[in-house]
């Protein structure tokens, strides 16, 4: 929503407020000329105003429909989901990264109050670590899976051959281990249903 909704409506606000933003009101949307268009910005800039405008309108409508769909499907009211984005490799340089990692550490039941400060300090070191683009992106310049990225980041060694971010490991692994759905549970129910018939009710 940062790409096409006016900045003051989404910056430093919680996901509950994002859910209530009326995306059908034009006054809530950025002017299409300032809308974030990603890698297509250069290509759009080479078009005439007459050809560029309908494409921008189409992109804006696409953003709106996708945002509406995701707001219905994603658990945006859960703080953990919001704060976990600090683990995204492209987010570590953003101003909100430090705030989010503190909140994430406080939300994780496996992290004690004393460990929150330690995790915060470790994240600061990680923010200033020089990480090569090959660690973040594939050869096709696509983002690598976040667990693959962190496997590399947490495996880095200092000059003394010790892990660079030993404290951060607990927070990252605790967060990445959180189940993202109930597919495994539902699958086990399906297996049990096939095994347990009316004639055979016990294993």
Q: Which of 84, 110, 114, 108 is nearest to 96 (CA)?
A: 84
Spatial contact of 127 and 97, defined as CB atoms under 8 Å apart: yes
| pLDDT at residue number 203 | 45
Listed by start position, the domains of the chain span: 7-73, 79-176
pLDDT tens for 121-134 read 999 999 989 888 88
User: What mean pLDDT do residues 43-64 have?
Assistant: 89
| Whole-angstrom distance, CA of residue 89 vs CA of residue 121 | 17
pLDDT at 34 over 70: yes
Q: Which of 157, 85, 155, 169 is nearest to 119 (CA)?
A: 169
| pTM of the predicted model as reported, rounded to 2 decimal places | 0.53
């Amino acid at each position: 929503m940062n790409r096409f909704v006016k900045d003051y409506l989404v910056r430093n606000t919680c996901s509950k407020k994002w859910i209530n933003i009326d995306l059908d009101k034009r006054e809530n949307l950025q002017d299409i000329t300032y809308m974030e268009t990603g890698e297509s910005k250069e290509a759009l800039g080479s078009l005439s105003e007459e050809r560029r405008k309908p494409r921008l309108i189409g992109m804006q409508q696409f953003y709106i429909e996708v945002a509406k769909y995701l707001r219905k499907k994603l658990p945006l009211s859960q703080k953990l989901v919001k704060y976990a984005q600090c683990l995204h490799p492209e987010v570590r340089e953003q101003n909100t990264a430090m705030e989010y990692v503190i909140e994430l550490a406080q939300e994780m039941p496996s992290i004690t109050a004393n460990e929150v400060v330690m995790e915060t300090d470790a994240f600061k070191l990680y923010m200033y670590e020089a990480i090569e683009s090959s660690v973040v992106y594939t050869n096709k310049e696509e983002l690598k899976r976040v667990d693959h990225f962190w496997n590399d980041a947490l495996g880095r060694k200092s000059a003394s051959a010790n892990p660079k971010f030993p404290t951060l490991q607990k927070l990252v692994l605790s967060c990445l281990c959180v189940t993202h759905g109930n597919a495994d549970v539902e699958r086990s129910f399906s297996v049990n249903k096939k095994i347990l018939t009316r004639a055979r009710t016990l294993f």
